[in-house]
Every structure is written in C-alpha cells, then in structure tokens.
Amino acid sequence: MDLFTTTDWALAAGILLAATLYSSVGHAGASAYIALMALFGVPAAVMRPTALALNVLVGSLASWRYVMAKQFRWRVLWPFLLGAAPMAYIGGGIHLPGEWYRPLVGVVLWIAAVRLLWPRELRTETQWRDPPVWAGIAAGAGIGLLSGLTGTGGGIFLSPILLFMAWSPVRQSSGIAAVFVLVNSVSGLAGNFASLGSLPPQLPLYAAAALLGGIAGTSLGVRLQSPWLTRALGLVLVIAGAKLVGVY
C-alpha cells in the first residue's frame, strides 16, 4: 500500500514550484501553500499551521543563504521585527473570518505588483535610506498582526514597503524579507501552539518538496540581477493577490 496518494504527490509538486518562485525573492511561500491546500480540499484547520511550518523550514534556509551572500541589512530589519513579532504571536491566536480583510489586501498586493512590473526604474535602485525606527515599528506591527491572522510570514507585505519607500536596495530586500518571514512564522506558530496537533501526516512529503524548492529558489535569488528580482517579486504579488481575493 502506497504511503502517499496521487493527490498528495500533486500537492507536493505545487508546493515545490511555489517554494522555488517565492524563495527567489526572499519569501517562504505561505500564501501559495494555503491557496494550493484550498484547491486540494485540505481542511481549513490544517492549512494555517501547515503553511507556517513550511514557512519556518523554507525561511530558515532562505535566511541562511541570503545572509551568507551578504544580501541582508540588520539596521533595516530590526524595527520591523520589533513591531511584528509580538503582533504575529497575538494574530496567531485569533480566529477571524477573512471575508473582509483578505480581498482588500489582495487588491493592495495587485497595486503593488503593477508598480513593480512597470518598466520605469524604482527609486530604490538609485537612492535609498534606512527607515525611521518609529515607521518600521508601526509598519511591522500591522504586518505582524495580518501575518498571524492569515497564516503567512509577511514577506509579501514587507518587500513592497521596503522598495516603494526606498528603505532598502533591491538585492538586500530579499535577505531582509527572509529573516522577517522566519521570525514571524515562528511567532505565529507559537501564538497558536495548539494548532500543531492539526499538522497532517503528509507533512514530511510537503516539507521535502518545500525544501527542494527553497534550494532552487534561493540559488536563483543570490544570482539574479535587480531588474529580474523586481519582476519576480511582482509576479509573486500577482499570485498572492489572486489567492487572497479568491480568484483561485
């Protein structure tokens, strides 16, 4: 008797592709994992802890690879983490329907994607500055709460802010987002520790797929030039926005 079904393998293949795309820009792919699990009929109670668990795995790999590649800046990251980590913990323990905020966030991500895919040069390519501490903490708190509520790591919200506000060079934004996602995902899981009992028996298969995708994606991410990174991030935001709005 086979340990995994055809459906399990198909979902794992989707997770591998999602991890590859998302990790190439410093994200861990939780929004895509949730979308895939919804398409494959995974129970709602299982989706959020599974997505966060995969996020911790891919986020750990991505953080290490981008930091080692010197695509990281601690001064940019820490104000966002200071605001986000406790709020992700709180959000992880709250169960709210997503009918109100998820479509709104999806539209915001689409607007961000249009700007990233626009052919004109982003200001952060030519000039950037460290974010004010108060602004980073405030933005991080909002991202952290939303991340905990939705079961995502928050990279899809942080990266556009860093680039639009010219608070980080494009290449360093990948490493900043990766570490941010890792810490947020751990906080979100800790905030809803009881949900770990809902992790599926297929988790080892999904984890292996996510790890392979993370290896492939981060290998691309440390080598791609900045214009390709912004376009890849724009594509990620289009996909994540579609998922949140409910297009698929």
**pLDDT tens by residue, 151-181:** 778 888 898 888 888 898 877 888 999 999 9
- Is 17 within a domain? yes
CA distance 96 to 118: 35
The predicted structure's pLDDT at residue 1: 46
Range of the domain at 237: 7-245
2 assigned to some structural domain: no
Position 136 scores a pLDDT of 95
- Cβ within 8 Å of residue 91, ≥6 positions away: 144, 145, 146, 147, 148, 149, 188, 191
Count of structural domains, the chain: 1
Residue 183 belongs to a domain: yes
Which has the closest alpha carbon to 48: 194, 221, 159? 194
Question: Tokens standing for 231?
Answer: 């376009």
Its pTM stands at 0.82
pLDDT score recorded for residue 83: 94
Q: What is the dihedral of CA 11, 12, 16, 17, to 10 degrees?
A: -20
Of residues 200 and 234, which shows the higher confidence score? Answer: 200
pLDDT the model gives residue 8: 95
3-state secondary structure of 229: helix
Q: What is the pLDDT of residue 150?
A: 72
Note whether residue 234 is domain-resident: yes
Q: For helices 133-150 and 170-191, give the axis angle rounded to 10 degrees.
A: 50
Share above pLDDT 70 across residues of the chain, in percent, rounded to a whole number: 84
- Give domain status of residue 107, yes or no: yes
Q: Which residues contact 190 (CB under 8 A, 6 or more apart)?
A: 89, 92
- Confidence at 185, pLDDT banded by 50, 70, 90: confident
Distance in angstroms (rounded) separating the CA atoms of residues 48 and 67: 27
Checking if the pLDDT of 121 tops 70, the result is no
DSSP code of residue 18: H
Could you report the per-residue pLDDT of 91-119, keeping only the tens digit for each?
Answer: 877 765 656 656 766 776 686 677 667 65
Task: Return all residues near 68 (Cβ < 8 A) that are at least 6 apart.
Answer: none
Instruction: Assess if residue 1 is contained within a domain.
Output: no
CA distances from 221 to 4, 43, 60, 232 (A): 31, 33, 15, 10
| 198 found inside a domain | yes
> Does 51 have pLDDT greater than 70?
yes
pLDDT of residue 226: 61
**Average pLDDT value over all residues in the chain:** 83
Q: Where are the beta strands (DSSP E) in 113-212?
A: none
